[in-house]
Amino acid sequence: MTTPTAPLTQDELKTLVGQAALHYVVPGEIVGVGTGSTVNKFIDALATMKDQIKGAVSSSVASTARLKALGITVFDANDVQSLSVYIDGADEIDGQGYMVKGGGAALTREKIVAALAKQFVCIADESKLVAALGNFPLPVEVIPMAAGQIARKFEAMGGTATLRMKDGQPLVTDNGQHILDVRGLQITEPLAFESQVNQWPGVVTVGVFAHQKAHVCLLGCADGVRTIT
Ligand code: 5RP
């Protein structure tokens, strides 16, 4: 008689995909590293092969601290011309690799490091896979003095924008800016939507990653890691 095994927890699925992402790390090179709880699992796994890589370019103060604490050299993005691979999580990903990101407020640096990389490998548990983007509140990093007018533009599109708070104050990003979280949008054309919102004065970065979409998604599922390309 076989004993039924308990389904893997979300945390275990994150560990699984964090470890699976090591297969995409090119020995001898610098790897692009994202931000978030799933990426933290990847960073922990990366530490096991730290002697085989040159180091990392990081997308946040938090990831930099974790990488350095594990003895991984962190390079400034300006000192790197290109990366073979960028590994990061997502708040939502659809079947085409389009994503919503920025739940951890690191979207601007994530997009910058992703733009350096030839390949974006998204690591996520299966709860992040969606048919269409828009359920997760869309993070938008904004210059504080423009927050009001940007919020009104989203309202005109049918969305509701709220300023992200932390400890009773507006959250301040690694870049010294604020985050609007926009609910109620249906993002049916991610490429056009990203281009449109990027042009609004005061928008630093919109959390739709369509121009920098994932080339591969390693999705942690009950029966293991599913690779979506
Ligand atoms: C941070 C991000 C993260 O990749 C996203 O929020 C997913 O995080 P987690 O792995 O903790 O679910 O975009 O800005």
Q: What is the pLDDT of residues 178-225, one digit of tens each?
A: 999 999 999 999 999 999 999 999 999 999 999 999 999 999 998 889
Q: Is there an atom of ligand 1 within 6 Å of 139 CB? A: no
| Relative orientation angle of helices 61-69 and 37-46, to the nearest 10 degrees | 30
Q: How far is ligand 1, taken at its centre, from the CA of residue 227, in Å?
A: 19
More confident residue, 119 or 3: 119
Just list the catalytic residues: 110
Which pLDDT value is given to residue 88?
98
pLDDT band at 2; cut points 50, 70, 90? low
Instruction: Quote the CA–CA distance of 229 and 214 in Å, as a whole number.
Output: 8
Digit-coded pLDDT (tens) for 44-98: 999 999 999 999 999 999 999 999 999 999 999 999 999 999 999 999 999 999 9
Q: Is there an atom of ligand 1 within 6 Å of 164 CB? A: no
Which pLDDT value is given to residue 1?
58
Q: How far is ligand 1, taken at its centre, from the CA of residue 134, in Å?
A: 15
- Mean pLDDT, the chain, rounded, equals 96
Q: Is there an atom of ligand 1 within 6 Å of 220 CB? A: no
Which pLDDT value is given to residue 5?
73
pLDDT band at 37; cut points 50, 70, 90? very high
